[in-house]
Amino acid sequence: MSKRVAILTSGGDAPGMNACIRAVAIACKGAGHELVGYKHGYNGLLEQEFISLSLDSTHNLIQQGGTVLHSARCKAFASIEGANCAATNLRKARIDTLIVIGGDGSFRGASHLSQFWDGQIIGIPGTIDNDIYGTDATIGYYTAIDTAMSSIDKVRDTADAFERIFLVEVMGRHAGFLALNAALSSASDYVIVPEFFVSEKHDIELIIKQIKAQRAFKGTVSFIIVVAENVWPNGLAGLTEALNQHGIDDVRPVTLGHVQRGGSPVSQDRLLATTLGEYAVGLVGSTHTNIMVGEVNQRPVMVPLEETWSKTKALNEARVSTMKTLMNERYS
Ligand code: F6P
C-alpha cells in the first residue's frame, strides 16, 4: 500500500548520503510511495522544513559528497518537548515512515522520537567513523579512508624529503577504524587508536622503541604516526611534547580534520548507500520498526536500533594483527 515516507540526514555528514537519498527516491517511486525530505536533520522536524523529493531533484546525485538535505546536531530535539513537537509535526505532515541516515547520535534521537510517535522508523548508518554495531561498514567510511590515505601519501613526500617525523591526526570520534585502515593503506609506521591506547607513559615508550629500532636499521628516515583523534592527552601538541622530552625533535603535526568528510564517494560507499537505501524502502509499511538496516558479508541485515549504540563494534582482528606485525617486525 502506498505510504508517505520522510527522510533526513543527521549528525556528521558522510560521502554517500546523497547516493542513499537517490536510491530511496527511486525505490519509493517504484513502490508508489510519496517521499519528502526534511532539511537540517532533526531541526527540520521541529521547524516543519521539508521538501518533496522527486526523481528530478535526486538526479545526478550519486557522485556528490555532502548531503543535499543538509545536516545538523539538534540539541532541542533531545528534550521531551522537542521530541513531542517533532511527533506532532510528523502527524500533521501525515508521515507513515521516517528514514534517518546518520550515526549513533542520530539513532539515539530516532529511538527517543519513537517514545512519542508511533510511525515506522528505519535507520541507515552514515558516518565516516564506522562505529556502528551491526553493520560491517557505514556509508562514508571507505571514502574517508581513501581521503586520509591520499593525504598521508602527500605528507610522506615531504616527510621523506626532510627525513622527519610526522604525526597525522585522523577523525573517528572514539573509534579507531579510520585511523587503523588509513595507517595500513598508507604504510604508515605507527598507529595510535583508542582501542589499544593504555597510557601516555606506556605508549610513548613503545613509540620511542619503534623509532629507535627504525633508526638503528635504516639511519634517520621519515616516520609517520597516524593518531586517532581524542586519544592522546592534549592531542598532537601533547604527543609532540612527549617526543621532544625523549630527545626526538623536528616533529611536525598535521590534522586532517573535516577534509575527511568531503569528496565524491568511492564505489564501495555508493554501493553500500544504494543497497541500503533500496532495502530500507522495501521494509516501508512492514511491521519492522526502530531498526537499522546494515550490511554483513555483503548481505542486508536488520538490527534493533538500540543495539547499534549499546553494543560495541570491535576493530577487524585480521587488520589489527596485520598492522601489529608490520609495525613491530619490520625492523627486528
Ligand atoms: O562523527 C563524524 C565526525 O566527523 C567525527 O569523526 C568527529 O569527531 C566529529 O564528527 C566532528 O564533528 P563536528 O563536525 O560537529 O565538528
Q: Domain with 296 in it: what CATH number?
A: 3.40.50.450
Ligand 1 atom, smallest distance to 129 CA: 6
Structural domain count, the chain: 2
Catalytic residue among 129, 136, 146, 189: 129
**CA–CA dist 221, 59 (Å, integer):** 49
Asked if residue 319 belongs to a domain, the reply is no
CB count within 10 Å of CB 30 equals 10
**CA–CA dist 315, 135 (Å, integer):** 12
* 13: annotated active-site residue: no
Asked if residue 320 belongs to a domain, the reply is no
Are 157 and 248 part of one and the same domain? yes
**CA–CA dist 228, 195 (Å, integer):** 10
Contact call for residues 66 and 36 (beta carbons, < 8 A) = no
Distance in Å, CA 330 to ligand 1 centroid: 33
Distance in Å, CA 316 to ligand 1 centroid: 22
**Would you give per-residue pLDDT tens digits along the chain (332 residues)?**
899 999 999 999 999 999 999 999 999 999 999 999 999 999 999 999 999 999 988 999 999 999 999 999 999 999 999 999 999 999 999 999 999 999 999 999 999 999 999 999 999 999 999 999 999 999 999 999 999 999 999 999 999 999 999 999 999 999 999 999 999 999 999 999 999 999 999 999 999 999 999 999 888 899 999 999 999 999 999 999 999 999 999 999 999 999 999 999 999 999 999 999 999 999 999 999 999 999 999 999 999 999 999 999 999 999 999 999 988 766 65
Distance in Å, CA 178 to ligand 1 centroid: 13
CATH number, domain containing residue 168: 3.40.50.460
Are 126 and 60 part of one and the same domain? yes
CA distances for 252 relative to 156, 182, 183, 192, 210, angstroms: 12, 18, 17, 16, 18
Ligand 1 residue neighbourhood (C-beta within 6 Å)? 12, 103, 127-129, 171-173, 229, 261
Q: Whose CA is nearest to atom 11 of ligand 1?
A: 12
Name the residue range of residue 67's domain. 4-140+265-310
Place of cell 537517490: 22
Are 73 and 157 part of one and the same domain? no
Whole-number CA gyration radius for the chain:
22
**CA–CA dist 152, 149 (Å, integer):** 5
